[in-house]
Copies of this chain bind each other. A is one copy, B any other.
Amino acid sequence: MSICQKNIKIYKGQIAYTPTPEGFMTVEDGFIVVEASKVKDVYCTLPNKYKNIHVEDYGNNLIIPGFIDLHSHASQVANRGIGLDKELLDWLLAHTFKEETKFEDMNYAEAAYKEHINLLIKNGTTRASLLGTIHRESAELLMDIAARAGLGGFVGKVNMDRESPDYYIENTYHSISETEKFIRNTLGKYKMMGPIITPRFVPATTPQLMWALREIVRKFDLPVQSHLSEDIKELEYVKRLHPEFIDYASIYNYFGMFGQRPTIMAHCVYVSDEEIALMARSGVYVAHCPAANFNLSGSVAPIRKFLLAGVNVGLGTDIGAGHVISIKDVIWQAIQASRVYELRTNHKYKALTTAEAFYLATKGGGSFFGKVGSFEPGYDFDALVIDDSNIFTVNPRNILERLERFIYIGDHRNIVQKFIAGEHVI
């Protein structure tokens, strides 16, 4: 056995993944060979050269890529399932901002952020782009907790210096200096986690702050995350604040935060065809958060339009506007939302297939983090082992039926093993 084979691990089971949105790749009793944290390949029959290496045999269990959460407010974990019969702007004032002020208290932050990260991992999320609050120190703590748990992804310290309640707003200069400090304290510190610039959304950030963030993005070569067109009232609000811009996306674009560096925009419900074209050209990622959209406004993002235009799309829980913490539940809410959209457009824009929604939940969002979300050669081995034997089965079910069933009616108890970048995570 050569030295390099020491880095090789082999996992056996009922394998399913989506190299493309068009359909699943499945292998019954297949083998995934992992070398130094990356997938070497997937095999129906194990090649002879691996015969002497131990095979971790998961038997009849499914092996699927880990879930990717492109948008989750870690600071809203205590608000899950609260106040969801309100609309967005009312809900922000009644619940969100008040909750976020508490993260000045590091003990509060530690309790809440540990819970959030624990829930993500428990529910099979392997990478996430997280939002903290305006507080730098607790955002640093969130990154530390996430990194220690083995989660991959980004954490943003939120910036907001206008149009916010007195009790939850930053001075522009303080916002800028704290953001720089946040970057210096976290950039390069962890293998799998890093900082992401996070202006809350256009209404809450002055042009002055946006210019400064643009400089920080360039200087440190950082990714960006924010919100775009979640709600009609928000859209009107943005138009009132910035009549000088042709649309909402152009504002982010003007300030160098729309694909100049890797960018995630949550929601994107009310975007024009011109905005969609810009998103496609700029490589902006949509974090599609169907549960949040249903909850706070009954709206549906035009995901089929995005896919047809070549826009990158992943899924997000958007805790706490979204209440479901598991991306598998976001998958079926995304399919439901896409059916609503199909019906609304008189069947012009077809609903998502299960394969397409699963792709968004894995490789679609995963590509924001590198080669993540698939079992193709060279991909980071992010994987979940699914034991669905507690689900009532009186008929033979193939891998895809079992996977679909897990997505719709399973829960975190079915996820019996988790791997992130080759590491076994508990």
Given A354-B85, A408-B323, A411-B411, residue A299 in contact with residue B343 (CB < 8 A): yes
Which residue of chain B has the shortest Cβ distance to A111 in the bound complex? B394
The distance in angstroms between the C-alpha atoms of A78 and B80, with both chains bound, is 31
> Quick one: which of A308-323 are within 8 Å of B by CB?
323
The residue that A298 contacts in the complex, of B343, B353, B409, with Cβ under 8 A, is: B343
Q: Which 3 pairs across A and B sit closest by C-beta, in order of nearness?
A: A298-B339, A81-B408, A294-B336
Chain B residues contacting A404 (CB-CB under 8 Å) are 81-84
B81 touches A409 (CB 8 A): yes
- Bound together, the chains give a CA A295 to CA B332 distance in angstroms of 8
Which residues of B are found within 8 Å of A216, using beta-carbon distances?
A: none
Nearest opposing residue in chain B for A353, CB measure: B85
A334-353 vs B, CB cutoff 8 Å, 1 = contact: the mask equals 01101111111000000111
CB-defined A-B contacts under 8 Å, sample of 7: A78-B394, A81-B407, A99-B395, A112-B392, A297-B343, A298-B351, A324-B409
Which residue of B77, B340, B351, B393 contacts A340 across the interface (Cβ within 8 Å)?
B340
B contact residues around A409 at 8 Å (CB): 80-81, 323-325
Query: Which residues of A come within 8 Å of B, CB atoms?
Result: 77-78, 80-85, 99, 108, 111-112, 115, 294-300, 323-325, 332, 335-336, 338-344, 351-354, 392-395, 397, 401, 404-411
**Cα of A297 to Cα of B336 in the assembled complex, Å:** 8
A332 to B84, CA, bound (A): 9
CB pair A112–B332 under 8 Å, yes or no, is no
- Bound together, the chains give a CA A298 to CA B294 distance in angstroms of 12
Other-chain residue from B78, B85, B339, B353 in contact with A294 (beta carbon distance below 8 A): B339
Whole-angstrom distance between the Cβ of A303 and the nearest chain B Cβ: 13
Q: Kindly name the residue among A112, A298, A354 whose own CB sees the greatest number of chain B CB atoms within 10 A.
A: A298
**Nearest chain-B residue to A99 (Cβ)?**
B395
Chain B residues with CB under 8 Å of A296's CB are 339
Beta-carbon contact of B340 and A78 below 8 Å: no
What residues on B are CB-neighbors of A323 within 8 Å?
Answer: 332, 408-409
Q: A85-B351, A299-B340 are in contact. List 7 more A-B contacts (CB 8 A).
A: A81-B407, A115-B392, A294-B340, A296-B339, A297-B343, A323-B332, A325-B409
Contacts of A298 in B (CB 8 A): 336, 338-344, 351
> Are A295 and B336 in touch, CB under 8 angstroms?
yes
The interface centre, meaning the residue of A115, A324, A352, A395 with most chain B CB atoms within 10 A of its CB, is A395
Q: Which residues of B contact A83 (CB under 8 A)?
A: 404
B contact residues around A406 at 8 Å (CB): 81
Verify A394–B108 contact, CB threshold 8 A.
Answer: yes
- Shortest C-beta distance, A38 to chain B (Å), equals 32
Kindly state the separation between the CA atoms of A77 and B411 in the bound complex, as whole angstroms.
17
Find the residue from A77, A85, A294, A404 having the highest chain B CB count within 10 A: A85
- Chain B residues with CB under 8 A of A78: 392-395
Least Cβ–Cβ distance between A45 and chain B, in angstroms: 30
Q: Are A84 and B335 in contact, with the CB atoms below 8 A?
A: yes
Residues of B within 8 Å of A77, CB to CB, are 392
